[in-house]
Amino acid sequence: MVEKVVKKSKEARASNLMRSTSIDKVIVNIGTGSDEQKQKNAKRLIEIITGMKPTDGISKKRNPAFKITKGTKIGAYVTVRKDTDKLVKHLLEAVDMRVKESSISNNTLSFGINEYIDINGIKYDPTIGMLGMNVNVSFSRKGIRVARRKIRNNAVPHKHRIIPREEIKDYLSKKFDANFV
């Protein structure tokens, strides 16, 4: 009798729309160091991949070993919040739909693409050169806006804010047919 109640509660939890996982945002980042030409090439490449205008990543500290001073442009990145499913599928194809389990943590998935020519539909451009990128995918559930909004915000329970690794793996395998290494 008790086992039936436990099974029903797990099924009810799985069918609850408020507990469903979705992609909140995707951040595509290319680190270039202090080279200005590489910086321009990275911005052009990100615009080709995402269709959005990237912004500059600016150093917060100085690092003499890399000849970086505080306030220097050291990379380019863009945050995508619309049509994220299409972009994530496109970028996961560049890594053959294989994701390391260690790259999945609570609410996030991070992976790197060594060369942009691995992405389908993008050809090598000699003016850009060879650049790689980091991709960070952030996941959320419905109802998180209650905590983020400015007016009449309210607390959201910890178990609703945090999405465990297993749920993210299930989401990626169902939605994108991703494999885990």
Q: Which CATH number belongs to the domain containing residue 41 in this structure? A: 3.30.1440.10
Q: Quick check: 1 pLDDT over 60? A: no
Query: pLDDT, tens digit, for every residue of 116-167?
Result: 999 998 999 999 999 999 999 999 999 888 999 999 999 999 989 999 999 9
Residue 3 located in a structural domain: no
Residue 142 located in a structural domain: yes
* pLDDT confidence tier of residue 12, bands split at 50, 70 and 90: low
Residue 12 located in a structural domain: no
Residue 64 located in a structural domain: yes
pLDDT for the residue 87: 95
Percent of the chain at pLDDT > 90 equals 75
- Where are the extended beta strands (E) located within the chain? 21-31, 55-58, 73-80, 98-99, 104-105, 108-113, 133-141, 179-180
Q: What are phi and psi of 20, to 5 degrees?
A: -70, 145
Whole-angstrom CA distances from 5 to 9, 10, 14, 181 are: 6, 9, 14, 35
Percent of the chain at pLDDT > 70 equals 92
Residue 135 located in a structural domain: yes
**Tokens 């329970």 identify what position?**
157
Residue 13 located in a structural domain: no
Q: Whole domain around residue 46: which residue ranges?
A: 19-180
Residue 1 located in a structural domain: no
Residue 4 located in a structural domain: no
What is the number of structural domains in the chain?
1
Query: pLDDT, tens digit, for every residue of 34-62?
Result: 889 999 999 999 999 999 999 999 999 99
pLDDT for the residue 116: 93
